[in-house]
A = this chain, B = another copy of it.
Amino acid sequence: MFKFERQYTESVTDTRWLDATEMAAWRAFVSTSHLLERRIEEQLKAAAGLTHPQYEILVVLSESPGRQMRMTELARDVVVSKSALTYQINQLEKAGLVERATCPSDERGVLAVLTEKGAHCLARVAPGHVEVVRAFLIDRLSREELRAMTSAMRKTEEALRSSA
């Protein structure tokens, strides 16, 4: 009875450690996400001199109505800090892949707009990127694993986004 209750009673001195299975899951997740991130970065850098965040910015913009988006929302979607986004948009602007526009409805607002050149760059780079994603992740998973992973990621994402 005690054993059962302790599972749900967190205190300073009584930690619910991860068992071997849970630990293995967590370790695998962390290592793999770092390794994959590194590989993706490497591929994009070699193919187009882009970083992964930069590529993601292009993707999100390309799928956004009018190929444009407010800075804050873009930062949320791509999961970077506001200052990191400012920096990256500056870089992309120098490269001519993105432009800034003032927001009509909000004087403070800034719109990041994908340029023609940006769209072409994305179209040129995407195949190689997708190939890496397939080769190391997607194509290696069964339908069931893909489904379960997506479900798991969504639950966690939801929890993280809704809490602070």
Shortest distance between the CB of A17 and any CB in chain B (Å)? 6
In the complex the two chains form, is A160's CB within 8 Å of B141's CB?
no
Chain A interface extent, by class? 35 or more
In the complex the two chains form, is A144's CB within 8 Å of B136's CB?
no
Interface string of A135-152 (1 = CB under 8 A from B): 111101100111111111
Q: Provide the residues of chain B in CB contact with A1, threshold 8 Å.
A: none
Our pick among B135, B147, B155 for the contact of A140 (Cβ within 8 Å) is: B155
Q: Which of A85-93, A95-103, A106-114, A126-134 contacts B (4 or more CB under 8 A)?
A: A126-134
Shortest distance between the CB of A37 and any CB in chain B (Å)? 8
Asked if A117 is an interface residue, CB under 8 A from chain B, the answer is no
Asked if A47 is an interface residue, CB under 8 A from chain B, the answer is no
Interface string of A52-94 (1 = CB under 8 A from B): 0000100000000000000000000001100000000000000
In the complex the two chains form, is B153's CB within 8 Å of A140's CB?
no
Asked if A120 is an interface residue, CB under 8 A from chain B, the answer is no
In the complex the two chains form, is A137's CB within 8 Å of B26's CB?
yes
In the complex the two chains form, is B151's CB within 8 Å of A137's CB?
no
3 nearest A-B residue pairs (beta carbon): A148-B148, A28-B153, A33-B33
Q: Provide the residues of chain B in CB contact with A79, threshold 8 Å.
A: 30-31, 34-35, 38
Asked if A16 is an interface residue, CB under 8 A from chain B, the answer is yes
In the bound assembly, the distance between CA atoms of A148 and B127 in angstroms comes to 27
In the complex the two chains form, is B131's CB within 8 Å of A28's CB?
no
